Amino acid sequence: MAELRTAVASTIPAFPTTDTAASEPPTGAGRTARWRWRSLTRHPLTRALAHRWPAGLALLVTADNWASPTLLGAYTLLVLPVGYLVIGTLRRQWGVPGNLRLQLAGLAGWSALALLAMLAGGTTGAWLVAVGWLAHAGWDLLHLRSRQVVPRAYAECCVVIDAVLGITIMLALLAG
């Protein structure tokens, strides 16, 4: 492990700083790597961006939705709970009491909403799809806070994607 750190540290270029105390890195490969990371994350904005990268990635992925909002079909609501069931299975989360029951209830709820949106059709169905995406953003926020079933980065990314899709569907409906 120490050899790997040394190899990685030797490939990272040193960044100059204005702080004279920090401009001279301590000796040793491990200390040099830590010094370089600290110099990169010294600025509060850099720290915030490094900590919230999933939200930034989600905004990047959904940038086209802001430029040209479109309506999504009701079937897209079925993707939401299936993703959680697959990830929960891969992470072996069903041993935790209540996790599987909650996810299956979510599957039933989003399936019912998708069916209702398909039966309603037209503008009413599209509004139901938008509400479903926004509701799923709340569902993701619940998982983000509880740290269960899916990784936090996935939940954080999904909160932003779902909220953007719900909002942009509403904007498309309002724009007519």
Q: Using one digit for the tens of pLDDT, what is the confidence trace for 119-164?
A: 999 999 999 999 999 999 999 999 889 888 888 888 888 899 999 9
| Two structure tokens written together for 54 | 């999933």
The pLDDT tens digits for 51-93 are 677 777 777 888 888 888 889 999 999 988 888 899 889 999 8
Q: What pLDDT was estimated at residue 30?
A: 56
Find tokens 């079937």 and name the residue: 75
Contact by Cβ (8 Å): 68, 44 = no
**Where are the domains positioned within the chain?**
2-51, 53-175
Give the Cα separation of 8 and 50 in Å (integer): 19
User: Lowest mean pLDDT: which of 7-11, 42-46, 74-78, 88-92?
Assistant: 7-11
| Two structure tokens written together for 21 | 């105390």
Amino acid (1-letter code) at residue 81: P
Q: What pLDDT was estimated at residue 8?
A: 46
Q: What pLDDT was estimated at residue 55?
A: 76
- List, in order, residues 6 or more apart from 101 with CB less than 8 Å away: none
Question: Quick one: DSSP state of residue 76?
Answer: G
Q: What is the pTM of this model?
A: 0.68
User: Lowest mean pLDDT: which of 17-31, 44-58, 141-155, 160-174?
Assistant: 17-31
| Two structure tokens written together for 18 | 């204005």
